[in-house]
Homo-oligomer: A and B are copies of this chain.
Amino acid sequence: MTGRPTVPTAEPGESVLRRAADAGLRLTRARRAVVAALEACTGPTTAADLAERLADVPISSLYRSLAVLVDAGVVARVHETEGIARFELAEAVAGHHHHLVCRSCGTVIDVRPTPSADDTVAGIVEAEAARHGFTATGHHVDIEGVCAACRTP
């Protein structure tokens, strides 16, 4: 099975931290702040952007918190471009989604495919993987385009 884990669990907030705790992590101020900041984003976010929103979290702490949360499976490091990493809540927490990337301004936003659309994609993906001896465990779809704001200046 490749796609869509479960539907958007009402308010992630709680469950994210609970998962982190279950993974044996302490729920420190920095980690709560990082999770809260990620929840407030509409798409994968750079460490620099997070650092700006979390002015009181030192950069070394921010990166360590992100690394630990990635290890715990509640945050994902995705969509690196131009040598800059972006972070988002993991699909296990935020639900499966695709990314719309504006080739002009670089913004990335999440889009949630309809269940039937994603079933179709998952089926295709699994067939391709199988044809090459792979066992598929997931897929990522990045849609490149131009956003409304950049198209009409």
Contacts and interface: CB of A to CB of B under 8 A. Distances in A.
Interface residues of A, number: 39
Contact of A121 (B111, B124, B137): B124
Given A134-B102, A139-B141, A128 B148 contact: no
B117 A141 contact: no
B141 A100 contact: no
Interface string A106-128: 00010101000100110011011
B113 A133 contact: no
A15 interface: no
Contacts of A124: 113, 117, 120-121
Contacts of A143: 2, 125, 128-129, 134, 136, 138-139
A113 B120 CA distance: 14
Contacts of A102: 134
A113 B128 contact: yes
Given A83-B80, A120-B124, A129 B100 contact: yes
Given A124-B117, A132-B100, A140 B139 contact: no
Nearest to A98: B128
A145 B141 contact: no
Given A113-B128, A125-B143, A140-B141, 4 more contacts: A120-B120, A135-B145, A138-B143, A139-B142
